[in-house]
Amino acid sequence: MTDTIPAWIDGALRPVDKLEVHRRGLRHPAISVFVMDGGRTLIQRRALGKYHTPGLWANACCTHPHWGEDTAACAERRLREELGIDGLALAPRDTVEYRAAVGPDLVEHEVVSLFTADAPAGLRVAPNPAEVMDVRWIALDALRAEIAAQPAAFTPWLRIYLAEHGGQIFGKAA
């Protein structure tokens, strides 16, 4: 893997190989997007070829900004790359930090810029099969119930977001 992402080393952001960031559990910036349709949110099942958390359900999209990339531009880019979604008005919600194991000897330690977007009627979702194997809309209460019943089917970050940051993401709907 030759992708580099920004990570904090000795208090400064530096470009580091993405796999190395996760092997060392380095703190790094990220974005996460929740696409909403009323009380329902769009979730995706990660492609089986992903190097961590393959086949697990996650929020609409998430990634790491490229070096120097604005977080909102990153969120727009990743919605397009993963789900074929363009033109949504993204609303910045908050910045949160979490640390979680995401596979054998891999750790996400992310400082995440959270965004929400309201889906217009008839939103076209066209998942990139290299990134996403399935998508579905689910009510927040139903999502929480599924996570409680089968936590291993969901990414650690989605479980953390719903358990610890629902009010910051969804406001009163949480």
Active site residues per annotation: 62, 110
In 19-170, which ranges are E strands?
27-37, 40-46, 57-59, 61-63, 90-103, 106-118, 132-139
Identify the bridge partners of residue 132 per DSSP, sorted by sequence position: 46
Question: 62 burial class (0-12, 13-18, 19+ CB within 10 angstroms)?
Answer: buried
| Cα–Cα separations (whole angstroms), residue 107 to 16, 95, 114, 155 | 15, 19, 19, 12
140: helix, coil or strand? helix
- The token duo for 74 is 């990153």
Cβ 34 vs Cβ 41: under 8 Å: yes
Round to whole Å and give the CA distance between 39 and 163.
Answer: 17
